[in-house]
Amino acid sequence: MSRPTILTVDDDEQVSAALSRDLKRQYGGQYRVMAATSGAEALSLLGSLALRGEPVALIVTDQRMPQMTGVELLAKAREDAPDAKALLLTAYADTDVAIVAINEIGLDYYLLKPWDPPQERLFPVVDDLLGDWQRAHPEVTSDLRIVGDRWSDRAHELKTFLARNHVPYQWYDVERDDEGRRLYDLAGSSAEDLPLVLPPDAEPLRSPAVRELAAALHLHTDARHALYDVCIVGAGPAGLAAGVYAASEGLRTVIVEREAPGGQAGQSAAIENYLGFPRGLSGSDLAQRALAQVSRFGAELVLARDVSGLEQRGPARALLLDGADAIEARSVVLATGVSYRRLDVDGIDRLQGRGVYYGANASDAAQCSDDVVYVVGGANSAGQAALNLARFAKQVVLVVRGPALAATMSSYLVNRITAADNVTVRCDSEVLEAAGDGHLETLTIRNRVTDEAEEVPASWLFIFIGATPRTGWLDAGIACDERGFVLTGPDLAGLSDPPMWPLARPPLPLETSMPGVFAAGDVRLESMKRVASAVGDGAMSIYLTHRYLAMT
């Protein structure tokens, strides 16, 4: 496949030449940069590229052009380049137009002219837009291939791990794709080998564990040092924020993550109420940006490792990992977050990973193309998932226990769900049973008011029904409430049963019952359960870590 195209549009030939020159110098190795000096010429070029099946990654256009404005061009360009990212160059007087275009035509970003120096003003914006485009188009950028059965729980686990770690791949269904069958036969595979993972520079991996896959992709699965200033458990918003602040302030920092950066928030198709992003951003995008900051400041990230215990070893704290390894640190931040509460009905556990899933990645939506999809839950996470799935699914049915969405979901989501033609809401309803031979085939849904039950055909069920803290691995050394949320600071006051606070000084605000161990984000009792508050917790935990280290 030819290089993806970046198209620039400006009616001023000198400005057009300067813009193309800057973009070619920075991106010419990976992208073909083409220039047009009018909207009509740009549409003609886009039509030619579409006929040849050549991808367009980014359109950068001036707003003030004769005959056709930049916004008008971008609206028409959707016909031939629907997936291209859109960047509008505009004067300060046109910012209102640009903001309206965010909602009306899906403008990705607007930038005030002039863009000099490009290293500070233009390239960071283009880097983000091209990064988003690449992650959405792995077939253009990846040689990693996976062959498997779409109803395989192991295949879903591996694809989720890759997607959430921003590793592009190509998926081939062994039953549906001729290329999948060819690769399966070529590798001399058997059913037990599926999913078959074919890295570009290594031997085939046959039904690998996540850690094995991570190692084959040269992702870090082991810590590099014997002792750290701070070890952060969990790479959700709280853990990543803690990592940025700790590493930027000179602390030797390691983050241990069992799955992928972003935590539960990383699976969100859209976070629209996070300060500073008027168009919103995906959880994946937020995690990628935060991870880039973490890496820039030098924090380590250890992936695909479960933490199984926490020990106090003199002045150090030891995190016990699966495989008998341990990481020692002078302080610890627990940012393990929460997982979705289990749906306790017949058939769910047996079919998990085979049509039944807890949560949904933004990338899960494409596999539901033209199907009927059921989503259980009435909070924001369920609403965002329903809208994302509706982009591909024939119909999305939202199953809600309560009498209305307004009590549990933000109004902007309720309005969008109500306006969506292919989203149906079944209030006062619950799933009674899931059934199927090898994968989900039917659901039984009961109306909680009339007590009437109905069996419906279904291949996909995504569950969003509340949060359970990821603290099952902690022993009695860390005090938790009856639901498993970690007690910190003032919540430890008056604790009469072991474990009791062991020191004469009072615990610091986010400090747990083990001195030097802090809790941040959703895992902490009485946390706000919002991305912004988790980020704040992560930052505050490092401020408190500095205070603790100064005492020891």
Predicted local confidence at residue 361, as pLDDT = 74
Predicted local confidence at residue 140, as pLDDT = 63
Distance of alpha carbon 545 from alpha carbon 527, whole angstroms: 19
Start-end of CATH 3.40.50.2300 domains in the chain? 5-138
Predicted local confidence at residue 324, as pLDDT = 74
Pick the residue with more confidence: 331 or 270?
331
Whole-angstrom Cα Rg for the chain: 25
Cβ neighbours of 17 (radius 10 Å): 14
HSE toward the beta carbon, residue 427, CA cutoff 13 A = 11
Query: Percent of the chain, pLDDT > 90?
Result: 62
In the predicted structure, residue 320 carries a pLDDT above the cut 90: yes
Distance of alpha carbon 291 from alpha carbon 90, whole angstroms: 30
CB proximity list for 421: less than 8 A, separation 6 or greater? none
Return the CATH fold of 5-138. Rossmann fold (3.40.50)
CB proximity list for 309: less than 8 A, separation 6 or greater? 319, 320, 473, 474, 475
Give the mean pLDDT of 351-373: 86
Which of these, 306, 337, 363, lies nearest to 156 by C-alpha position?
363
Measured between alpha carbons, how far apart are the two ends of the chain, in Å?
59
pLDDT tens readout for residues 492-511? 876 555 457 888 889 999 99
Predicted local confidence at residue 363, as pLDDT = 67
For 93-132, b where at least 16 C-beta lie within 10 A, e where not — what string?
ebeebbeebbeebebbbbbebebeebeeebbebbebbbbb
Give the mean pLDDT of 263-275: 80
pLDDT tens readout for residues 412-464? 899 999 999 999 999 999 999 999 998 999 999 999 999 999 999 999 999 99
Start-end of CATH 3.50.50.60 domains in the chain? 227-339+468-551, 348-465
Pick the residue with more confidence: 330 or 283?
330
Predicted local confidence at residue 313, as pLDDT = 93
Find the range with the poorest average confidence among 46-55, 178-187, 196-205, 497-506: 497-506
For 139-171, b where at least 16 C-beta lie within 10 A, e where not — what string?
ebeeebbbbbbbbbbbbbbbbbbbbbbbbbbbb
Whether residue 490 is preceded by a cis peptide bond, meaning omega within 30 degrees of 0, is no
Residues in a beta bridge with 361: none
Give the start-end residues of each E strand in 368-507: 372-376, 395-399, 423-426, 429-435, 442-447, 453-457, 460-463, 467-469
Put the strands of the sheet holding 300-303 in their side by side order.
Answer: 300-303, 253-257, 230-233, 332-334, 517-519
In the predicted structure, residue 189 carries a pLDDT above the cut 90: no
Predicted local confidence at residue 494, as pLDDT = 62
pLDDT tens readout for residues 522-537? 999 989 888 999 999 9
Predicted local confidence at residue 190, as pLDDT = 78
Predicted local confidence at residue 2, as pLDDT = 65
Predicted local confidence at residue 139, as pLDDT = 66
Predicted local confidence at residue 522, as pLDDT = 95
Query: Percent of the chain, pLDDT > 70?
Result: 97
Return the CATH fold of 142-216. Glutaredoxin (3.40.30)
In the predicted structure, residue 399 carries a pLDDT above the cut 60: yes
pLDDT tens readout for residues 44-56? 999 888 877 789 9
Predicted local confidence at residue 496, as pLDDT = 54
Predicted local confidence at residue 311, as pLDDT = 93
Give the mean pLDDT of 172-187: 87
Give the mean pLDDT of 118-132: 90
Pick the residue with more confidence: 83 or 186?
83
Average pLDDT, the chain: 90
Q: What is the CATH number of domain 348-465?
A: 3.50.50.60
User: Which tokens sit at 230?
Assistant: 């701070």
In the predicted structure, residue 403 carries a pLDDT above the cut 70: yes
Give the mean pLDDT of 265-271: 79
Which of these, 508, 516, 510, 482, lies nearest to 238 by C-alpha position?
510
Distance of alpha carbon 260 from alpha carbon 264, whole angstroms: 10
Give residue 152's identity as a one-letter amino acid code.
S
Q: How far is CA 510 from the centre of its chain?
A: 26
Which of these, 107, 85, 84, 83, lies nearest to 94 by C-alpha position?
107
Distance of alpha carbon 444 from alpha carbon 434, whole angstroms: 7
Predicted local confidence at residue 292, as pLDDT = 87
Start-end of CATH 3.40.30.10 domains in the chain? 142-216
Angle at 224 between CA 552 and CA 260, to 5 degrees: 100
Distance of alpha carbon 286 from alpha carbon 233, whole angstroms: 19
Return the CATH fold of 227-339+468-551. FAD/NAD(P)-binding domain (3.50.50)
User: Which conformational region is residue 234 in: left (phi greater than 0), alpha (psi within -120 to 50 degrees), or beta?
Assistant: left
Predicted local confidence at residue 502, as pLDDT = 85
